[in-house]
Amino acid sequence: MIPLLDLRAQYAALKPELDAAVLDVLASGAYVQGEPVERFERAFADYCGVRHAIAVNTGTSALHLALLAANIGPGDEVITTPFTFVATVAAILYAGARPVLVDVEPESFNIDPSLIEAAITPRTKAIVPVHLYGQMADMTAIQAIAHSYGLTLIEDACQAHGAEYRGRRAGSIGLSSAFSFYPGKNLGACGEGGIVVTNSDEQMYTMRSLRDWGQAGRYNHVLKGFNYRMDAIQGAILDVKLRYLEDWTEARRAHAARYRSLLADIGSIKLPAEIQGRRHVYHVFAIRTRDREALRKQLGDEGVQTGLHYPIPVHLQKAHADLGYVEGDFPVAEALAREVLSLPIYPEMSPRQIETVANAIKQDAYVV
């Protein structure tokens, strides 16, 4: 079986360093935040090209804090996309605001800037573009809209560690930006984790307080905060893994290029677009096919595991029916939800495994 991703292979490659980092934390007796987390925060801020990083317990918490620190709350509207993991919308709701959804581009799968202005109302406070699958949204166009209407721009970069837009790293453009370190992410913890990055001192101070029960010093609670702290073991693990992220990104990009070469002549599938001027980091390599289930079954029968990211867009999820959207409101997102199929891609894949996946698709091409 070729898995969709192989976390055991990554651990095996780094076992001595990761084991030592974890044992150091266990021996220290300091298990929540502390020096390992602070060291990782400094390294990740440098990696993104920003001044501050605030580590938290999940990517959802990171986005929630970014919204709260930007004074977004009840009565406000936040524009984002229906084609994303549900956490994007959940974080907006946690803040007390109303998510307003805008359809996506058929090529990049990211929010379509040409549709944003029509969704802006007097209550709109922010735009949250999602850098889906590892490729950044059209930030020039989105920045221009945000500036024109006085809106806050917050990046959902939970799938885009190391992605770039015209030479700028994901996380370095918005007022603040959220990343997830869920284990399957390009930079993944051995558990849950997240981080917010920002260049704003004010945002940084607010988010550091909010993540730790709103404290401004021991037992001095100045805000209604949360227990969103990162544990020290995750900080130590992520600090080790961050040193390898660029090598892993280049491996992912090489695998994607190999897929493109091997699958270029199959007209029944559409390969993911890599937009000029954007460095795609391929958190997901999603092809499109109109007969997805048949292709997925055939690949499974031949030992290739695939994934669906995401089969039901947010506006058609039962949990969010109260947003008032119906089928047909976002035709591009709905088509993608029916057609995208994620192929295995992770740094430790071998060229032979890539070829095996491609050959399995070629054998199955008649079904699509």
Cis peptide before 310, with omega less than 30 degrees from 0? Answer: yes
CA dist 215 and 211 (Å) reads: 9
Known catalytic membership, residue 270: no
Distance CA(174)–CA(69), nearest Å, equals 13
3-class secondary structure per residue, 327-352: CCCCHHHHHHHHHEEEECCCCCCCHH
* Cα 335 from Cα 287, distance rounded (Å): 13
Please tell me the distance from the alpha carbon of residue 44 to that of residue 53, in angstroms, as a whole number.
7
- What DSSP letter does each residue of 34-75 carry, written as one string? SHHHHHHHHHHHHHHT-SEEEEES-HHHHHHHHHHHTT--TT
Q: Which two tokens stand for residue 25?
A: 């934390």
Coil, strand, or helix at residue 156?
strand
Other C-beta atoms within 10 Å of 339: how many?
Answer: 16
Residue 65 token pair: 């804090």
Q: What contacts 122, CB < 8 A, 6 or more positions away? A: none
Which of these is catalytic: 15, 125, 185, 297? 185
| Dist CA 199 CA 281 (whole Å) | 23
d(CA 183, CA 41): 18
Quote the CA–CA distance of 55 and 66 in Å, as a whole number. Answer: 12
Q: Using H for helix, E for strand and C for coil, what is the string for 97-126?
A: CEEEECCECCCCCCECHHHCHHHCCCCEEE
The residues annotated as belonging to the active site are 185
